[in-house]
Structure 1
C-alpha cells in the first residue's frame, strides 16, 4: 500500500526506479509527469524545507489527485531519491580533469557545497541511504576519474568520495545554522561574552591560548577552503 510517511521504511527497488518505464501502464495519459512531480517537490523543499514535502502537498502543487502520484512515487523515500537525482543534474562537469587530483577533488567539493547551499534540504536527504540515479552516477563517474591518478583501488576511491561528500554536507549544515544564528545578534554577543569569561577563568588554558591566537578570515568561503585543504592534503594514498 502506498505510504505518505516521512521515513524510509518502505525501501526502494533501484531497478524499478531507474531502469523501467516511468509512465503509468494503464488508463489515460496524465497531464503531468514524474519529472514535473519531482520538480514540484524540489521547489517546495527549497522554499519551505524537506519536512513539508508530502505526497499530498506535492499533489496539490501539480494539481493532481494524491492517489495518482503513487504511480510515479509509491512513498516519500522514492520521492526523495527522485529529488536528489533531479538536482544532481545541476552538477554537470564539462572540463577535463587536470591530473592534479588534489586540486580537482577540491573543485568537486566546492561544486558540492554550492549545490547544497542552493538546496539546503540536500544534506539531510543525503544522510540516509539513497539509490544513485543517472545524474548522481554521472557526477560520481567524474569524481572517480579525478581520483584515477592516485592509483587507489575502486573501493578506496569510493570511500574518499563518500568522505568528501559527508564533510561538505556537515559543513553546509553548520554553515546554514550559523547563518540563522547570526540573524540573532543578541545571542551571538552573549556567546562571545560567555567564551571570553570561560577563557579568563584559569581552568581552560588551552582554550584561552586558542582564542588569543591571531584571527583568520572567518567568512564561510575562507573557512571552508581551509578545512577542505586540511582534509584533502592530508589524505593518505600510500
Structure 2
C-alpha cells in the first residue's frame, strides 16, 4: 500500500519532501475555500487514536472520518508524520497555561507534570510521541515549552541543564503513564480479579523468598512492608518527580525542593 501511494503521489507531483507543516499555508491565497481544515483532520485523527490506538490512525481512515478521498487528504497533510504532529498540537490545547505561576519553580514544574500526566491518560497514544523531538515543536507544544522554561526562571542553572531537566521530567511522566496504562489494560483483560492474580503471585514469591536464595530481596520487601495492591500510585508519582527535581536543585546549590 505504501509503494502504491508513493507511486500515485509521484505521478501527481506530490512526492513527500522533508518539511514542517506549520510553514505551509493552510489554504492558498486564491481559489475556492478548502472543504476541510487541519483542525478538523486533527480532531478526527485524535478521536480514532483515543478509541483504537495510534496504529489505527491511517490516512485512509482519517479521510473516511472527515468525508474526504484518501488521496485528497494529502493536499492537507503531505505525510503521516505531519498528521501525528497535528494530533500532538490538537491535544496540547488542553494544557492550562493561563493560571499565574507561583514563583516556586519546583511546585510549578510539578503542576505542569501533573497536567502532562492527565493529558497522557486521556490520550493513551501520547506517551509514544514523547521520545521524539519531531513532535515537540508544534505551535501549542511550543507554548507549553515556553511555560515550562518560564517556571524555571528562579533556578540558577545553565540553559542546557534546564533543557535536560525538561527532558527528565517529560521522560519520567511518559514512563510512569505507560506503566499505568499497561497495568490498567492488563487488569481489564484478566479473566479474574487483580486481587486473585496478586494473591497467586504473592504466594509464589513468598515460596521463593523462603528458599533463602534471595536474602537482599527478602530483606528489602520485608522492610517495605507493603504489597503492590496497597501502593499509593499518586504519592509514588509525586515522589518520583520530586527526586528528579531535587537532583537539579542540588546541582544549582539550592538543596532539596519543597515540592510535595
In structure 1, what is the Cα distance between the partners aligned to 2:244 and 2:207? 32
- Given the alignment, which residue of 200, 211, 215 partners 2:221? 211
Q: Cα RMSD over matched residues?
A: 2.2
Please tell me whether the aligned partners of residues 116 and 169 of structure 1 are also in contact (alpha carbons under 8 angstroms).
yes
Q: Kindly report which structure 2 residues correspond to 1:1-238, keeping only aligned pairs within 5 A, or say none.
A: 12-14=18-20, 17-23=21-27, 28-131=32-135, 132-183=137-188, 184=190, 185=193, 186-213=196-223, 214-215=225-226, 218-235=231-248, 236-238=251-253
Q: Structure 2 regions of 5+ residues with no counterpart? A: 7-15, 254-260
Q: C-alpha displacement at 1:24, in angstroms?
A: 5.5
Say which structure, 1 or 2, has more relative contact order (CA 8 Å, 6+ apart).
1
- The 2-side partners of 1:69 and 1:92 are apart by 31
Shift of 1:23: 2.2
Give, in angstroms, the shift of residue 44 of structure 1. 0.5
Q: Runs of at least 4 residues of structure 1 off by over 4 A?
A: 24-27
- Range moving further from structure 2, 126-135 or 46-55: 126-135
Q: CA deviation at 1:71?
A: 1.4
Greater Rg by CA: 2
| TM-score under structure 1 length normalisation | 0.88
**What is the distance in 2 between the residues matched to 1:218 and 1:160?**
27
The TM-score with structure 2 as length reference comes to: 0.81
Aligned residues: 230
Provide structure 1 residue ranges, at least 5 long, that are not aligned to the other structure: 4-9
C-alpha separation between the residues in 2 aligned to 1:161 and 1:109?
Answer: 10
The answer as to whether partners of 2:49 and 2:125 remain within 8 angstroms in 1 is yes
- Greater Cα offset, 44-53 or 191-200: 191-200
